[in-house]
Amino acid sequence: MERQSYSIVLSGEAGQGLQTIESLFIALLQKSGYHAFIAKELMSRVRGGNNTSEIRIASKRVQAFVDRIDLLIVLSKDGLDRLLDRIDENTLIIGEEDYIKSRKTDARLYPVNVKEQMEEIGSQLYTNTFFVGVLSTLFSCDENIARTLLSEQFSRKGESIVENNSKAFDFGKKAAEESNYHFSVKRDDSVKKMKAIKGFETIGIGALSGGCNFVASYPMSPATSVLVYLASHERSHSVLVEQAEDEIAAINMAIGAWYAGARAMVTTSGGGFALMTEGISLSGITETPVVVHLAQRPGPGTGLPTRTEQGDLNLALYAGHGDFPRVILAPGTWEDGVLLSHEAFEIADAYQVPVFILTDQYYLDGEGIMEKVDLSKLERTNHVVKSNASYKRYKITDSGISERAIPGQGKGFVCVDSDEHTEEGRITENAAVRQAMMDKRMRKLSAYKDIDPKIIGPKNYTTLVVGWGSPYGAIKEAVANLDDKGVAFGFFPQVYPLPSRTKEILEKAKHLILVENNASAQFGQLIRRDLGITFDTTILQYNGSPFSVEQLVARIGEVLA
């Protein structure tokens, strides 16, 4: 019998090749016509511990984590330990017999002698490909496509490696066929024209599309994946990638690159960004654009370095001393990741302000399937001018935006200063000039065109569930599952400045519910600060895990009851 979706969980140790299974299988699902989504939970270890990945296979688009486990693949002896509360009599568990019986459960068990079969091939390293064969067969994926993907994945390692992986796949295929289990999900042929993608890739693609040609960063999880992605495209897209000695150097390099005519970005996480805050102020007073990708993870301090949270909105909102404008964007979908990252560079260049892209571990490490974005239709506008002899870098204007020239490109002298300055860029302590310059900087976003919130659900809603960033998929699916025609979802891809329609959208609802992955309702605080609107209900989570659909259905349902 066909179902709308299934939840598969892979549970094993770091270093066992879970990523190989994930990447191969989601590509196979996409090419076979299935919608899919992968959410990862990682321990802070290079080897050992217990990591899990949830793969959802669905008949329609999906981008949310669920508690339910329909099929559990266990690759290590401790693979059941953290999952017992998610296993019931409907769960099918597959793995080595001693692994799947290590804890008492009500689940259906199907033991497979993986170790013994891998010894025939010559290495336990092929275990991951064995389970690709299992999954491919249980979900009736195209076998020819699977073998092609395997060949492409391992061809650089030699023919013998490809052959051994093919044998491992065959062993897995046979084990699945002998199990008499089968999972059926309706296919969607349109998916075959889409793209399997990782969250961090969407940020990298959007940055390159936006003209990013310089990246300076110091590695810090989960932001490092964006740095590595851009480094892998250094030659193909003429982007200079610099691993700086620390975060302070990174932000200053990026600001210097913009001053010299580049379009630059830094990618970092909360602890690294904390070191960059003086540089953010430098961007503010010198009116030098900069794009910062801030990949959130639970703090304070080192916190949970490999888990997820939306705890850094206030950090981005208030970073830097003094007053100056900024823009904060937060993608929820894969398409958002591409489009908002592209737009970040356009905004930074046009308004000469720092622009922040807020993601988190859940978004960056996730994988899914998205419609292809036609990058050729995305505009890229260069606002740099060629200076003349009378050029004034900080000329007072009605818009607050002064023409930005590049040193050596024109006859004028491009003078910038981190002290308060005159129109020519010279240091001053004149009170009247100081006030005029502050007023100029503060009105730079007066003509800014907002990225509007998205209303998903009935337009004549009585209850509005509000969210931003990575919980998008879970909130959307939960609201759809509530079967309440008066409930809609208001998603904010631009979290600051608050879009001009925010008050109108919120005041239309009789009941407001806020969903955030942090402890203090940071977006709710911002809305109350700027608009005086308080949410009737706040649903918060800050244990390092993303929201599940079931959690939100239950908690929103309680409010509506």
Closest CA to 551 of 517, 522, 520: 517
Question: What sections of 300-383 are H helices per DSSP?
Answer: 313-318, 334-351, 361-365
The answer to whether residues 351 and 22 touch, using CB atoms and an 8 Å cutoff, is: no
How many whole angstroms separate alpha carbon 457 and alpha carbon 42?
34
Q: Based on the fold, state whether residues 29 and 178 are members of the same structural domain.
A: yes
3-class secondary structure, 281: helix
Instruction: Flag whether 447 is in a domain.
Output: no
Q: For residue 241, give every residue at least 6 positions away whose Cβ sits within 8 Å of its Cβ, in sequence order, or none.
A: 215, 216, 227, 230, 231, 234
E strand spans, 255-388: 264-269, 290-296, 327-329, 354-360, 367-370, 384-387
* Domain limit, last residue, from 159, 193, 227: 193
Instruction: Flag whether 56 is in a domain.
Output: yes
* Domain limit, last residue, from 401, 422, 442: 442
Instruction: Flag whether 448 is in a domain.
Output: no
Q: Based on the fold, state whether residues 47 and 141 are members of the same structural domain.
A: yes
Q: Based on the fold, state whether residues 481 and 509 are members of the same structural domain.
A: yes
Query: Confidence class of residue 269 from pLDDT cuts 50, 70 and 90?
Result: very high
Q: Based on the fold, state whether residues 267 and 296 are members of the same structural domain.
A: yes
Q: Which two tokens stand for residue 51?
A: 């990591």
pLDDT digit string, tens, across residues 135-150: 999 999 999 999 999 9
Query: Confidence class of residue 48 from pLDDT cuts 50, 70 and 90?
Result: confident
Strands of 92-95's sheet in order across: 108-111, 92-95, 71-74, 5-14, 48-58, 35-41, 367-370, 195-198
* CATH number where 337 lies: 3.40.50.970
Q: Based on the fold, state whether residues 36 and 183 are members of the same structural domain.
A: yes
What's the total number of domains in the chain?
4
Instruction: Flag whether 121 is in a domain.
Output: yes
Q: Over 60: is that where the pLDDT of 1 sits?
A: no
Query: Confidence class of residue 203 from pLDDT cuts 50, 70 and 90?
Result: very high
Residue 275 phi/psi, 5° resolution? -75, -15
* CATH number where 473 lies: 3.40.50.920
pLDDT digit string, tens, across residues 527-549: 999 999 999 999 999 999 999 99
| Number of neighbours of residue 66 by Cβ within 10 angstroms | 22
The average pLDDT across 229-236 equals 97
How many whole angstroms separate alpha carbon 415 and alpha carbon 26?
52
Q: Quote the domain boundaries for residue 331.
A: 197-377
Q: Based on the fold, state whether residues 45 and 78 are members of the same structural domain.
A: yes
pLDDT at 15 (0 to 100) = 81
The mean pLDDT of the chain is: 96
**Burial letters for 88-105: b for 16+ Cβ neighbours within 10 Å, e otherwise?**
eeebbbbbbeebbebeeb
The answer to whether residues 176 and 139 touch, using CB atoms and an 8 Å cutoff, is: no
Q: Which two tokens stand for residue 395?
A: 């000329």
Distances (CA, A) of 249 to 36, 292, 295: 40, 14, 18
Angle at the Cα of 141 (from 139 to 144), degrees rounded to 5?
Answer: 155
16 burial via Cβ count (<10 Å: 0-12, 13-18, 19+): buried
Q: For residue 431, give every residue at least 6 positions away whose Cβ sits within 8 Å of its Cβ, in sequence order, or none.
A: none
The average pLDDT across 35-43 equals 94
Query: Confidence class of residue 3 from pLDDT cuts 50, 70 and 90?
Result: confident
The answer to whether residues 424 and 430 touch, using CB atoms and an 8 Å cutoff, is: no
pLDDT at 43 (0 to 100) = 86
Instruction: Flag whether 449 is in a domain.
Output: no
Q: Based on the fold, state whether residues 229 and 136 are members of the same structural domain.
A: no
How many whole angstroms separate alpha carbon 20 and alpha carbon 98?
24
How many whole angstroms separate alpha carbon 192 and alpha carbon 411?
54
The average pLDDT across 538-561 equals 96
| Number of neighbours of residue 171 by Cβ within 10 angstroms | 23
Radius of gyration of the chain (CA): 26
* Domain limit, last residue, from 136, 161, 193: 193
Residue 467 phi/psi, 5° resolution? -155, 170
How many whole angstroms separate alpha carbon 60 and alpha carbon 532?
39
Closest CA to 70 of 92, 102, 46, 95: 92
Residue 554 phi/psi, 5° resolution? -65, -45
Place of tokens 């961007």: 283
Q: Based on the fold, state whether residues 83 and 113 are members of the same structural domain.
A: yes
3-class secondary structure, 252: helix
| Number of neighbours of residue 529 by Cβ within 10 angstroms | 11
pLDDT at 532 (0 to 100) = 98
Q: Based on the fold, state whether residues 343 and 317 are members of the same structural domain.
A: yes
How many whole angstroms separate alpha carbon 131 and alpha carbon 381?
48
pLDDT digit string, tens, across residues 69-114: 999 999 999 999 999 999 999 999 999 999 999 999 999 999 999 9
Instruction: Flag whether 247 is in a domain.
Output: yes
Instruction: Flag whether 76 is in a domain.
Output: yes
* CATH number where 137 lies: 3.40.920.10
Q: Based on the fold, state whether residues 185 and 243 are members of the same structural domain.
A: no
Closest CA to 173 of 126, 137, 146: 137
DSSP string computed for 518-544: SSS-HHHHHHHHHH----SEEEE--SS
The answer to whether residues 117 and 98 touch, using CB atoms and an 8 Å cutoff, is: no
Q: Based on the fold, state whether residues 474 and 437 are members of the same structural domain.
A: no
Q: Based on the fold, state whether residues 499 and 395 are members of the same structural domain.
A: no
Count CA within 13 A, CB hemisphere, residue 22.
26
The average pLDDT across 472-501 equals 96
pLDDT at 317 (0 to 100) = 98
The answer to whether residues 237 and 373 touch, using CB atoms and an 8 Å cutoff, is: no
pLDDT at 156 (0 to 100) = 87
The average pLDDT across 489-510 equals 98
